[in-house]
């Protein structure tokens, strides 16, 4: 075999063009597959960087509307107290802390407020200092923070004297008491969390049954398996539901492995889809290489016949071709690892941003996958051509003399089957790319019920002492609004809880005053926003009936709300929504809030399938928040970019410790927020482009080979009077027939893929017929061009040369 490999190496060196095409094609196919496996490995296969990760779980709240809900503090503390023998439980909530130091501009960082057992449950120990003590979870005692290793190195330049350093967090002085190990800088599970602070709940906050912002973690006790723990938590959930049937009738909990929470269900589905589509690219590449190797082997058929006549066995005939395949697969696999690293670096940048610590490690599992793919690839594109050629008819081949052979019927059927498969796979790839392109464009350009094109927005988090005083906080928001209104180019400004990008907070459950309450757990739910009176004019959402929120709707005035059209039609089909009252389930104010207007429906730009179409707007003065969105409306879209810096300067002048997070024109912010979708779109476009090119190359190669095999026939036909159009039609009929058959087979796979994408990303990949139609047209056009080139060449066959050869 060693001598066969040396011989195969010499043969490949003699044909550098073929060898280069083969190796590069394999490298792209193997590299893309390895990169997609790295994505799968990082998020789903590689264990989290914590001790005994198989005993770590996230405890999700389940209900009829949600399968991955968060918990309210009252439920968390009850679960924690009732499950001490089953698991050690901790909670965290995402937060945006403002950090400021003397001589440095304030900035806002992704952070967690955590319970005292948070680090113990994860099994994390600090590399410097300590973690939190139980007594530091009390209000006023939680002025300590722990920072991540990445934050210590980047923000504080690895200062060895960092412990005990005082900084201002949301305007309050806090002490840095610890630096976590580097493993907690991994963004795979929790994102780029930089700062950790004790929860510090007040007695009232601990008893809250409406603030569902807590994620709960559980580490199972020794000897407790997941099934036992799930049963115990279900028992606890049943008790909670029985105690408060009106609020918690469908309350449930479900243990989910912490390892599986990094991507979520839609992310897992998309990862599997990407891995499958990258495998399609590799299969198309294998089809092309199999055709190339078959043609290369047929050209050496006389050599194989002579070897067979001299006594060579079938295995001895196959070995040189197998050796070439092995060399090509090894070279393609080695170069494919480099392609994989380039692709994973691209994905890490797009998924994590510039300051991300996300890293797709090339570990032994990834290398083993690359080796396996290279091995399987070598078998796929090499063995069948070798077996076909090894069945050479020695007498027929030797009788043919110098003319050699052009292959028998089995060879042609094999090549045709490969082209049909390539066209089917190429159509599936094109359909996937088309679905994403059209879906994202539709998402950005559709009438969403609000006008994002002329908006500039940013997030601010006011100091904690200010946030605790509703009147002062709303007064500050009014001051911000008044200062922004005087900027040149600004037509309106507002402060609100959120814009319709990710969706308003919620959904919250409501009851209609004066009517029979529905069965527990069946109350209507709505996404709820808290807004200033100028919100509707600022974002461009129309008021269809009634009056909008006004300046007279204050903290001391009767509570009011605006609901959207879908909610009004569903809850009040007789059209008398205005004047009725809605109350939150469990609200202390049984009279609820009066509906004063109906607003047009809005669609959330980045929500993958809203669980409710209902939307509620409340006055910000009656429901103040410390973390809000500040938005200005420009004269036109061209003026938005020029408002960013004046916007930032005004906030800084009002409070130098108050940074503006994610300040940008809203369309640009939406585009950045869609970076993961854009990355998937670009990957799919890359897959589709490569698959389309390889499929077209395969069609061209097969038809060109057919022209070569039928050169004499074509020459004779032309000598007998056939016209150029007759020759073109003759050649293209065979190629287009294969293309048509491959397209028909690919249509089924294309529609299946479109349905999978629609279920994984509803709202983005919802419509499929148009996307599949566009993909089919593109594929047919490219295949037509690929068939036309060799057909035109066939018309240039010299009839005299063809007759002379006969």
Looking at the structure, tell me whether residues 533 and 649 fall in a common domain.
yes
Looking at the structure, tell me whether residues 699 and 561 fall in a common domain.
no
pTM of the model: 0.74
Domain assignment of residue 259, yes or no:
no
Domain assignment of residue 5, yes or no:
no
Looking at the structure, tell me whether residues 426 and 511 fall in a common domain.
no
Looking at the structure, tell me whether residues 366 and 283 fall in a common domain.
yes
Secondary structure element (H or E) that encloses residue 424, with its range: helix 409-445
Distance of CA 620 to the CA centre of its chain: 33
On whether the CB atoms of residues 160 and 78 are closer than 8 A, the answer is no
Angle at 82 between CA 249 and CA 136, to 5 degrees: 110
Domain assignment of residue 501, yes or no:
yes
How much is the pLDDT for 419?
84
On whether the CB atoms of residues 152 and 159 are closer than 8 A, the answer is yes
Q: Give the model confidence (pLDDT) of 78-94 as tens digits.
A: 999 999 999 999 999 98
3-state secondary structure of 349: helix
Report the sign of the C-alpha dihedral through residues 775, 781, 782, 784, in that order.
Answer: positive
Show the DSSP H helices in 255-311 as ranges: 264-299, 301-309
Report the sign of the C-alpha dihedral through residues 123, 124, 128, 132, in that order.
Answer: negative
Looking at the structure, tell me whether residues 73 and 106 fall in a common domain.
yes
Q: How many domains does the chain have?
A: 3
Looking at the structure, tell me whether residues 394 and 473 fall in a common domain.
no
Looking at the structure, tell me whether residues 634 and 530 fall in a common domain.
yes
Cα separation, 626 vs 636, whole angstroms: 30
Looking at the structure, tell me whether residues 592 and 706 fall in a common domain.
no
Q: Give the model confidence (pLDDT) of 599-628 as tens digits.
A: 999 887 665 444 568 999 999 999 888 889
Looking at the structure, tell me whether residues 398 and 305 fall in a common domain.
yes
98 class by beta-carbon count within 10 Å (0-12 exposed, 13-18 middle, 19+ buried): buried
| Residue at which a domain ends, from 209, 226, 250 | 250
Cα separation, 658 vs 660, whole angstroms: 7
Domain assignment of residue 448, yes or no:
no
Band of residue 719 on the pLDDT scale cut at 50, 70, 90? confident
Looking at the structure, tell me whether residues 649 and 760 fall in a common domain.
no
Cα separation, 139 vs 206, whole angstroms: 11
Q: Quickly list DSSP for 380-397.
A: HHHHHHHHHHHT--HHHH
Residue 455 has pLDDT above 90, yes or no: yes
On whether the CB atoms of residues 737 and 699 are closer than 8 A, the answer is no
For residue 555, what is the DSSP state?
T
How much is the pLDDT for 443?
65
Pick 330 or 315 by higher pLDDT: 330
Count of CB atoms situated within 10 Å of the CB of 589? 10
Structure tokens given for 176:
């840095």
How much is the pLDDT for 402?
46
Band of residue 587 on the pLDDT scale cut at 50, 70, 90? low
Q: Which domain holds residue 495?
A: 464-654
Region of 119 on the Ramachandran plot (φ > 0 left; ψ -120 to 50 alpha; else beta): alpha
In this structure, the chain runs to a length of 806
Structure tokens given for 796:
């240039």
Residue 492 has pLDDT above 90, yes or no: yes
320 class by beta-carbon count within 10 Å (0-12 exposed, 13-18 middle, 19+ buried): buried
689-709 per-residue burial string, b: 16 or more CB within 10 A, e: under 16:
ebbbbbbbbbbbbbbbbbbeb
Cα separation, 294 vs 292, whole angstroms: 5
Band of residue 185 on the pLDDT scale cut at 50, 70, 90? low
Pick 120 or 702 by higher pLDDT: 120
Looking at the structure, tell me whether residues 321 and 203 fall in a common domain.
no
Q: What radius of gyration do the chain's Cα atoms show? A: 33
Looking at the structure, tell me whether residues 146 and 191 fall in a common domain.
yes
């Amino acid at each position: 075999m060693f001598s066969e490999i040396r011989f195969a190496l010499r043969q490949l060196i003699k044909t550098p063009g073929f060898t280069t095409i083969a190796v590069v094609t394999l490298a792209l196919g193997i590299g893309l597959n390895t990169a997609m496996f790295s994505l799968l490995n990082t998020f789903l296969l590689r264990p989290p960087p914590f001790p005994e990760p198989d005993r770590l779980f996230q405890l999700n709240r389940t209900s009829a509307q949600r399968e991955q809900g968060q918990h309210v503090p009252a439920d968390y503390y009850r679960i924690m107290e009732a499950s001490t023998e089953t698991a050690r439980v901790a909670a965290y909530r995402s937060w945006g802390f403002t950090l400021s130091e003397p001589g440095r501009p304030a900035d806002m960082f992704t952070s967690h407020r955590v319970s005292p057992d948070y680090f113990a449950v994860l099994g994390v120990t600090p590399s410097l200092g300590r973690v939190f003590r139980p007594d530091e979870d009390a209000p006023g005692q939680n002025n300590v923070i722990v920072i991540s290793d990445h934050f210590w190195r980047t923000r504080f330049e690895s200062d060895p004297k960092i412990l005990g350093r005082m900084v201002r967090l949301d305007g309050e002085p806090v002490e840095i008491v610890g630096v976590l190990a580097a493993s907690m800088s991994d963004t795979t599970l929790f994102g780029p969390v930089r700062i950790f602070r004790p929860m510090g709940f007040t007695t009232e906050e601990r008893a809250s049954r409406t603030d569902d912002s807590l994620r709960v973690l559980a580490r199972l006790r020794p000897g407790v398996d997941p099934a036992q723990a799930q049963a115990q938590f279900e028992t606890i959930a049943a008790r909670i539901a029985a105690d408060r049937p009106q609020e918690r009738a469908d309350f449930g909990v479900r243990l989910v492995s912490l390892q599986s929470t990094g991507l979520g269900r839609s992310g897992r589905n998309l990862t599997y889809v990407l891995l499958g589509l990258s495998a399609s690219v590799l299969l198309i590449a294998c089809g092309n290489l199999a055709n190339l190797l078959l043609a290369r082997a047929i050209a050496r058929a006389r050599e194989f016949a002579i070897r067979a006549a001299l006594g060579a066995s079938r295995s001895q005939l196959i070995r040189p071709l197998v050796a070439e395949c092995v060399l090509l697969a090894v070279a393609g696999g080695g170069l494919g690892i480099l392609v994989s690293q380039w692709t994973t670096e691209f994905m890490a940048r797009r998924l994590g941003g510039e300051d991300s610590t996300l890293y797709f490690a090339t570990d032994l599992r990834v290398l083993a996958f690359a080796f396996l793919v290279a091995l399987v690839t070598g078998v796929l594109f090499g063995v069948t051509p070798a077996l076909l050629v090894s069945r050479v008819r020695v007498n027929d081949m030797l009788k043919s003399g110098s003319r050699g052979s052009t292959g028998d019927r089995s060879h042609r059927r094999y090549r045709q089957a490969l082209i049909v498969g390539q066209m089917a796979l190429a159509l599936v790839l094109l359909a996937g790319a088309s679905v994403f392109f059209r879906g994202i464009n539709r998402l950005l350009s559709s009438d969403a019920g609000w006008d994002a094109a002329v908006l500039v927005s940013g997030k601010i988090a006011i100091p904690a002492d200010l946030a605790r005083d509703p009147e002062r906080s709303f007064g500050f928001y009014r001051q911000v609004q008044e200062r922004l209104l005087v900027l040149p180019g600004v037509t309106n400004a507002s402060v609100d809880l959120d814009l319709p990008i990710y969706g308003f907070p919620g959904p919250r459950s409501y009851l209609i005053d004066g009517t029979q309450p529905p069965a527990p757990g069946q109350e209507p739910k709505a996404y709820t926003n808290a807004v200033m009176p100028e919100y509707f004019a600022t974002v461009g959402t129309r008021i269809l009936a009634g009056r909008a929120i006004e300046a007279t709707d204050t903290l001391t005035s009767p509570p009011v709300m605006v609901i959207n059209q879908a909610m009004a039609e569903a809850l009040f089909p007789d059209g008398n929504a205005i004047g009725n009252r809605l109350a939150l389930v469990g609200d202390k104010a049984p009279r609820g809030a009066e509906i004063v207007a109906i607003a047009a429906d809005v669609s959330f730009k980045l929500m993958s399938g809203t669980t409710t179409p209902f939307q509620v707007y409340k006055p910000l003065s009656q429901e103040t928040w410390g973390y809000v969105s500040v938005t200005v409306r420009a004269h036109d879209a061209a003026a938005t970019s020029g408002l960013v810096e004046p916007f930032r300067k005004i906030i800084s002048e009002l409070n130098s410790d108050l940074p503006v997070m994610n300040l940008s024109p809203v369309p640009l912010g939406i585009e950045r927020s869609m970076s993961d979708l854009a990355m998937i779109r670009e990957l799919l476009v890359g897959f589709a482009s490569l698959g389309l090119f390889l499929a077209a190359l395969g069609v061209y190669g097969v038809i060109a080979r057919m022209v070569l095999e039928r050169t004499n026939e074509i020459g004779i036909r032309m000598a007998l009077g056939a016209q150029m159009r007759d020759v073109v039609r003759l050649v293209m009929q065979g190629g287009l027939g294969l293309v048509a058959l491959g397209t028909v087979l690919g249509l089924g796979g294309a529609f299946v893929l479109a349905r999978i994408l629609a279920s994984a990303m509803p709202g983005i990949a919802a419509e499929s017929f148009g996307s599949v139609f566009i993909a089919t047209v593109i594929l047919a056009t490219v295949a037509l061009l690929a068939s036309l080139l060799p057909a035109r060449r066939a018309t240039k066959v010299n009839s005299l040369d063809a007759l002379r050869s006969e």
